[in-house]
Amino acid sequence: MDKILVHGGRSLSGSVKISGSKNSALPILAATLLTREPCVISQVPDLSDIHYMLTILGELGCEVERASGVVKIKAETVGTEAPYDIVRKMRASVCILGPLLGREKQATVSLPGGCIIGDRPIDLHLRGFEALGAAVLVKSGNVKVLAPALKGATVTLRGKFGSTVLGTDNVMMAAVLADGTTIIDGAAEEPEVVDLARFLVAMGARIEGAGTHRIIIEGVKELHGAEHKIIPDRIEAGTFLVAAAICGNGVTLTRVEPAHLKAVTDPLMLAGFSIETGKDCITIKPGSTRRALKLDTLPYPGFPTDMQAQMCALLATTDGISVITENVFPQRYMHVAELKRMGANIELNGSTAVINGVGRLSGAPVMASDLRASAALILAGLSAENTTEINRVYHIDRGYESIDEKLNSLGAEIERVKA
């Protein structure tokens, strides 16, 4: 198992190209199950989660070809059951339920695994399937959905902590082949949902309202093959913006969608950093002073929960008292204990973290608990004294394409070694 060594104290500068979005690519790859015709997906990031999804598609009978960020998939005949050995490694594998239900009218998938960041039930997905006419059975660690026919319906996907992105994806993919009109109320508004809708429309689906809280889907009898380019990964981009804020001297991100990143760039400007945006690029430079922040994570277009840990790393060395309240996954603070090992002054009060900035962190052996916590620990190590040793970095490879190499290209000194 690999570990990452971050030798702190280096300044970052230059430019870095952002990869395609993991959270967009996974449901789009799953959506290829909806047609027997070939689909070509480009700008697919090279990540372990992508590997797991392609393995699942292969196990279901799809023909899969992959080269240089382009994936070709032909799902001429498909099975309807995904094995636990693969599904357990990635929570997003649950998004094959919707397309299999839409096309084959049945699916069996093991309850998913993935990061341990608190309770993330799939009850809203299942409620949506039931509204479309499916029977749902959860037994022996498996979810089985079955429907002689799917009929359009009004589905509400508002959950305790906001809308569900994967739930919106799943119901949308099932509904495109249902008979009649489906209305998703309380739909997730994230750019990744919009990207999936664009791909489905390219396949012949009829969808309106993606990117709003109300999506309207007119069912069609069948879909055809299509080509699609994945949008840039806004969380990877946000992570590099925070890295540049921590120890940058002028860093430019290319191949980005600036509009998708306002929830990150706006707080960074409030914290005192200079942000310049172009059509598909963002440059961040240090300001005269760095200021403390008060942040609340919220569903898009609010500040993303997937950037909370990284922002903790930045605010840990920002003068003053910062406050972050986690409203999406209230238990998502496993990185705090590791940051405290490095000298951070953070106190937790339920879902709120109170961060009293210190002058500098110190390198220490730390343990990554989940994908975004891994990124936060790397960022914290960039400016820390001495060397930070990060263990269990397989989490980082789930969602960041060559993060160590990209940071090194900006001037960091990061090693990946065998543990």
- With residue 397 as reference, give the H or E element that holds it: helix 396-399
**Mean pLDDT throughout 394-405?**
93
- Given the residues 115, 247, 281, 312, the one annotated as active site: 115
Tell me the pLDDT band of 163, cut-offs 50, 70 and 90.
confident
- Backbone φ, ψ for residue 187 (5° rounding): -70, 150
pLDDT for position 84: 78
Q: Which two tokens stand for residue 12?
A: 């970052």
Helix axes 97-104, 165-175, angle to 10 degrees: 10
Structural domains in the chain, CATH included, are 2-18+232-418 (3.65.10.10), 22-229 (3.65.10.10)
- Residue-wise pLDDT for 278-301, tens only, equals 999 999 999 989 999 999 999 999
pLDDT for position 214: 98
Task: Give the whole-angstrom CA distance, residue 217 versus residue 175.
Answer: 7
Partnered with residue 157 across adjacent β-strands are none
What 8-state DSSP symbol labels residue 401? S
Q: Which two tokens stand for residue 329?
A: 């996954």
Task: Give the whole-angstrom CA distance, residue 354 versus residue 162.
Answer: 23
pLDDT for position 118: 44
* Contact criterion met (CB below 8 Å) for 314 and 264: no
- Backbone φ, ψ for residue 115 (5° rounding): -70, 150
**Mean pLDDT throughout 385-409?**
94
Side chain identity, residue 182: T
SS (H, E, C) 154-214: EEECEECCEECHHHHHHHHHHHCCCECEEEEECCCCCHHHHHHHHHHHHCCCEEECECECE
Partnered with residue 39 across adjacent β-strands are 73
- Asked if the peptide bond before residue 191 counts as cis, ω within 30 degrees of 0, the response is no
Q: Is the dihedral of CA 204, 208, 214, 220 positive or negative?
A: negative
Task: Give the whole-angstrom CA distance, residue 192 versus residue 202.
Answer: 15
DSSP string, 44-94: ----HHHHHHHHHHHHTT-EEEEETTEEEEE-SS--SEE-HHHHTT-GGGG
pLDDT for position 358: 97
Q: Is 230 helix (H, G, I), strand (E, B) or coil?
A: coil
For 393-418, letters b (16+ CB in 10 Å) and e give: bebbbbbbbebbebbeebbbebebee
pLDDT for position 116: 43
- Residue-wise pLDDT for 401-418, tens only, equals 999 999 999 999 999 998
Determine if residue 157 is left, alpha or beta; phi over 0 gives left, psi from -120 to 50 gives alpha, anything else beta: alpha
Task: Give the whole-angstrom CA distance, residue 400 versus residue 398.
Answer: 6
- Residue-wise pLDDT for 309-333, tens only, equals 999 999 999 999 999 999 998 989 9
Side chain identity, residue 333: Y
Average pLDDT, the chain: 94
- Answer yes or no: is pLDDT of 62 > 70: yes
| % of the chain beyond a pLDDT of 90 | 86
Q: Is 151 helix (H, G, I), strand (E, B) or coil?
A: strand
pLDDT for position 112: 64
pLDDT for position 160: 77
115 is an active site residue: yes
Return the minimum-mean-pLDDT range out of 10-14, 45-49, 113-117. Answer: 113-117
Task: Give the whole-angstrom CA distance, residue 131 versus residue 184.
Answer: 11
- Residue-wise pLDDT for 232-279, tens only, equals 999 999 999 999 999 999 999 999 999 999 999 999 999 999 999 999
Side chain identity, residue 390: I
The candidate with the shortest Cα–Cα distance to 203, out of 84, 75, 326, is 75
What lies within 8 Å, CB to CB, of 73 at 6+ separation is 29, 32, 38, 39, 41, 57, 62, 63, 64, 65
Tell me the pLDDT band of 113, cut-offs 50, 70 and 90.
low
